A = this chain, B = another copy of it.
Amino acid sequence: MIRLSRLSDYGIVLMTRLAREPERALPASVLARESAVSPAMTGKILKLLARAELLVSHRGAHGGYALARAPERITIAEIIEALDGPIALTSCLRPSAEGCGIEALCPARTNWQRINRAIRDALAEVTLAEMARPVLEFGPAPFVSEHASPAVRDPAALAGTS
């Protein structure tokens, strides 16, 4: 399954916690405790997020981490890219020069980019603010096309998480 790495998973949880009190800086220890993520992992993740400039850090006593921007301006896509690298499904055509050798019969190449964009856009349209917001405030999702493709008929696939 196209699964998200634990790194990104935890990262989003931590960022969501910070989004509840933007402006305020919290030390890693507190974030770890309140988010139920191990302190070691929390440290690792926060460092990566700081390096990616999604967080600002303050060292020394009473140091900590705070969001670098307003939660409305931080997207899930950015968090994932900061922790797991670029969002791209493709492994068919590597950046290497040689190509995959079957380009002639592989018009899929350019089409992959469309898929990648679609996914990336989907991720880029969800902000931290939305993730932090209590769920009931939402109306129907505006960016998700409601009409499932007719060929798609496995409702269990959507159930995924309990």
Tallying the copies of this chain within the complex gives: 2
Cβ-neighbour of A121 out of B6, B86, B145 (below 8 A): B145
Q: Known A3-B89, A13-B106; judge A123-B114 contact (CB<8 A).
A: no
Q: Known A125-B149, A151-B124; judge A85-B158 contact (CB<8 A).
A: no
Q: Are A160 and B116 in contact, with the CB atoms below 8 A?
A: yes
Query: Is A30 located at the chain interface by the 8 A CB criterion?
Result: no
Which residues does chain B contribute within 8 Å of A17, judged by CB atoms?
A: 105
A107-B135, A109-B161, A118-B144 are known; give 13 further A-B pairs, CB within 8 A.
A2-B88, A2-B119, A13-B92, A16-B106, A36-B100, A76-B115, A95-B160, A109-B135, A115-B123, A115-B126, A116-B158, A118-B126, A122-B122
Q: Are A102 and B36 in contact, with the CB atoms below 8 A?
A: yes
Query: Is A29 located at the chain interface by the 8 A CB criterion?
Result: no
Which residues does chain B contribute within 8 Å of A75, judged by CB atoms?
A: 149, 151-152
Query: Is A61 located at the chain interface by the 8 A CB criterion?
Result: no
Q: Are A107 and B131 in contact, with the CB atoms below 8 A?
A: yes
With CB as the reference atom, state the residue of chain B lying closest to A143. Answer: B118
Q: Known A122-B122, A143-B118, A152-B78; judge A108-B86 contact (CB<8 A).
A: no
Residues of A in contact with B, size category: 35 or more
Which residues does chain B contribute within 8 Å of A78, judged by CB atoms?
A: 151-152
- In the bound complex, what is the Cα–Cα distance between A114 and B157 (angstroms)? 13
